[in-house]
Structure 1
Amino acid sequence: MLSPYTVLDLTGGHGDLASMLLGDMGATVIKVEPPSGAAGRSEPPFIDGAPESERSLPFFAFNRNKQGIILDLEVEAGRNALKALVEKADFLFESGQPATLDSLGLGFDVLREINPKIIHVAISAYGRDGPYADFPASDLTIAAMGGPMSLQGVPERAPVRISVPQVWLHAGAEAATAALTAHALMLRTGEAQFVDVSAQTAMTATMLQGVSAHAIQGHDYKRAGSLLQLGQVTFPVVFDCADGYIVLIPSGPTLAVMVPWFVEDGLVPESWIDGEEWPSYHIRFLQGQPVAYSLEDVLEAITRYVAKYTKK
């Protein structure tokens, strides 16, 4: 799909995913690193016994389909070498503090003089300008300022970020999409494009309907820990099983499969099978339409059933 195109990846670990995705679509990706190596090479977890510069699992995961070159952009020879690469490239990704390449005399205005069709994508924590452009950033602070942490954790305490660090993965995915959108515009206009990707904005996008709930649904979502809130209904999705826990969302299609199992185990009467249109159960329940069996009865059946079995 993208086999005719060349991508220059100057990201230091914050944005590796973006160029990797273009590489997966066939583009030739060249990872440009400083003499000291990309910052991503020091990101854990590490491969036991591997050389220090080659032990980062995330670095190899997100750079697995790239060629590599070492350039010292602090010296003229390195900058000239990059300019030669830009002349034949189609995309350039950078990350880190805003305007880093500008400070080296390699900003967008310079690059588009070299290549009038280049797509320059700059990934940063809070965007190129604005009140927080130079604000200190970590995965935690960006997740908080982006908004999703406001819905994570239990209401009795401060918000807690869940799962692994993922801010730069979301930013990288958004950057890849934005790069291709900019390229489509370039094909129509014939002009180079600059794309400003904010990791904070990328995290806000992960909130989905949480951002618009008040305006559209008339209420705000709240932190609920291991509970799931759909509309104004909150219910558990984490259940005890024989060897730990399992996450199970009682959607209609899931219940259509599970109700016969409940009957087989003697947990509910056989009338449950034909007594409800299970595939559409959750839709009608959330819309306030009549259902044959209450959510409380359904959750009780799920709880009793999964407690008898292991996670597998």
Structure 2
Amino acid sequence: MAEPTSNVMPALLSGLRIVELASDRAAYAGKLMGDLGADVIVVEAPGGHASRGYGPFVDDKADPDRCLWWWNYNTSKRSVVLDLDSAEGRDSFRRLAQSADIVLEGEDPGTLDALGIDHTQIRADAPALIWVSVTPNGRRCADLHEPATDITLLSAGGTVWNCGYDDHSLPPIRPSGGHAHHTASAFAVMGALTAVVHRDLTGVGQHVDVSMLAATNVTTEVSSIDWLYRRATNNRQTGRHASEHVTMGIQVETGDGGYCSNPLGLTTAGNYKSVLDWLGELGLVDEFPEAFFLQMGIDRGGVSLKVLGQDVEATEIYRAGREALYLIASKLTMAEFFVQAQQRGIACGAVYAPDEALADPHFRFREYPVEVDHPELGRSYTYPGLPFTGDFIPTTIKRAPLVGEHTQEVLGEL
């Protein structure tokens, strides 16, 4: 385990050394642990990993050190260049891996074994080492070498079935942005840190085998469970949760053309009173003849989501609550509806574009957008920060490394 190098309060994962073989599949896992304070050493091939060639590039200059994909997924890491096709490179990798707490890789099964540097070969001399593999189907399956991409994994895992529109004559759609890779990386971090706890208690490391396919399947909300236990099929719905039954839309369009999301509708007596009062304050009661349903919602103490579609009265009360929100939203801006709904105890979220999200006061208060210095370019850039905060969680992150920037430094530490 690496030693802390300053008197500053240690970050959550300071002292952990992680050797990551550069990949698309596990890059986000390494980023999360690096941003949490671990010493993450990303091993690249000569010239840099292929992902450095993904566009777009800063200032539209195609350069491996200006790749925005690389910048995003490799913050807070050090870069070492090793030629694993050479005996010298493999020897350096063995020594580097055996100096680590965790090795993180996303290679196709059999690739590292053929080079003599897979987990069984390296852990033989380092039994406390934790080895995390992220592969499409996992290392323990019949389809080890079946080709896979983000869309094939999300489709086979069931996620794509849940995403799309009410009109089922249209094909389903997939979430964008490497959803399968992010999901698998999140499970890789959980598995790795659980293995660290086990190692600290027993002195023994282990192989953590992450299946990207399984990771996508367990994130289909209740759809997999509903099928396994009830043989019920949940169907996709526009902009809302897949469900066995058709539900009302949860996005409300505001007067300025924006959208807010109200996932729960009105459920408590307090919710119904707040909306009835809100209609009154805006002078909209006469425009909403179903206002008496809101009073019924108050009188019956709210509406349980469990009875919708079964209890006729409750369903109509709930529907009226939704329609009241549609009317109110049409008279306000997105910002006004978003803030006022929350002030009244009604669950609500603004539907932001990414740049709008970074400007949100809540994100700003949490210091989520962070400035990252790029001395090699003489500039700093705004990055999305960590998705969680805490006493031992850093509030800053470091820029992604240049190709082989730390090779001599890291190898000199061995």
Task: Give yes or no for TM over 0.5.
Answer: yes
User: Deviation at 1:184?
Assistant: 2.1
2:59 paired with 1:48: yes
* Residue 86 to residue 284, structure 1, CA distance change in 2 (3 Å): closer
Partner of 2:247: 234
Q: Which residue of 2 aligns with 1:148?
A: 159
Partner of 1:248: 262
- Determine helix, strand or coil for the equivalent of 1:186: helix
2:164–2:238: 8 Å Cα contact kept in structure 1? yes
Code of the aligned partner of 1:306 = A
Amino acid across the alignment from 2:262: L
Higher relative contact order (CA 8 A, sep 6+): 2
**Structure 1 residues 218 and 106 mapped into 2: Cα distance closer, same or farther (>3 Å)?**
closer
Structure-to-structure mapping, 1:146-295, within 5 angstroms: 146-154=157-165, 155-216=168-229, 219-229=232-242, 232=245, 234-242=247-255, 243-249=257-263, 250-252=265-267, 255=271, 258-268=275-285, 269=291, 272=294, 276=298, 281-283=303-305, 285-286=307-308, 291=314, 294-295=317-318
Question: Structure 1 136/218 Cα, relative in aligned 2: closer, same or farther at 3 Å?
Answer: closer
Q: Residue in 2 aligned with 1:85?
A: 96
1:13 corresponding residue in structure 2: 24
Structure 1 letter corresponding to 2:20: D
CA drift of 1:185 comes to: 2.3
8 Å Cα contact 2:251-2:259 kept in structure 1: yes
Amino acid at match of 2:102: F
Please give the secondary structure, in 2, of the residue aligned with 1:9: strand
Moved more, 170-179 or 270-279: 270-279
Give the letter aligned to residue 47 of structure 2.
Answer: S
- SS across alignment from 2:138: coil
Structure 1 residues 34, 160: closer, same or farther in 2, change over 3 A?
same
Matched, 1:75 2:86: yes
Distance in 2 of aligned mates of 1:211 and 1:266: 46
1:63 aligned to which of 74, 83, 95: 74
- TM-aligned CA distance change 1:176 to 1:303, over 3 Å: same
- 1:110 Cα offset (Å): 1.4
The 1-side partners of 2:192 and 2:186 are apart by 10
Single out whichever of 133-142 and 19-28 deviates more from structure 2. 19-28
Instruction: Check whether the contact 1:231–1:286 (CA below 8 A) recurs between aligned residues.
Output: no
Maintained 8 Å contact 2:137/2:214: yes
Structure 2 residue matching 1:114: 3-state secondary structure: coil
Task: Provide the secondary structure at the position in 1 that maps to 2:220.
Answer: coil
Structure 1 residues 227, 185: closer, same or farther in 2, change over 3 A?
Answer: closer
Q: Percent of pairs identical after alignment?
A: 28
Alignment map for 1:29-40 (pairs within 5 Å) = 29-40=40-51
User: What is the distance in 1 between the residues matched to 2:307 and 2:75?
Assistant: 46
Q: How many angstroms apart in 2 are the aligned matches of 1:142 and 1:306?
A: 38
- Shift of residue 189, structure 1, vs aligned partner: 3.1
Between the aligned partners of 1:120 and 1:279, the Cα distance in structure 2 is: 54
Alignment deviations for residues 164-205 of structure 1 (CA, whole Å, 9 cap, x no partner): 331111111110101111222223332221111111111111
* TM-score, reference length from structure 1: 0.88
Change (3 A) 1:228 1:31: closer
Contact 1:228 1:235 in 2 (8 A): no
Q: Where does structure 2 lack aligned partners over 5 or more consecutive residues? A: 1-11, 286-290, 336-414
Partner of 1:305: 328
1:262-307 Cα offsets, whole Å, 9 max, x none, are 3322334599479528996444655967749612211211211212
Q: Which amino acid aligns with 1:148?
A: T
Residues 33 and 260 of structure 1: CA distance in aligned 2, closer, same or farther (over 3 Å): farther
Asked whether the 8 Å contact 1:83–1:114 carries over to 2, the reply is: no
Partners of 1:212 and 1:141 in 2: CA distance: 21
Could you say if the C-alpha distance between residues 13 and 227 of structure 1 is closer, same or farther in structure 2, counting changes exceeding 3 Å? Answer: closer
Greater mean deviation of Cα atoms: 11-20 or 218-227: 218-227
Bigger mean CA deviation after superposition, 228-237 or 250-259: 250-259
Residue pair 1:44, 1:58 contacting (<8 A) in 2 also: yes
- Give the length in aligned residue pairs: 312
The root-mean-square deviation of aligned C-alpha atoms, in Å, is 2.8
- Contact 2:52/2:64 (CA < 8 Å) preserved in 1? yes
* 1:35-56 deviation line (CA, Å, top 9, x unaligned): 1311221233432244510222
8 Å CA contact 2:19, 2:102 repeated in 1:
yes
SS of 2:194's partner is: helix
**Distance of aligned partners of 1:51 and 1:232 in 2 relative to their CA distance in 1, 3 Å threshold:** closer
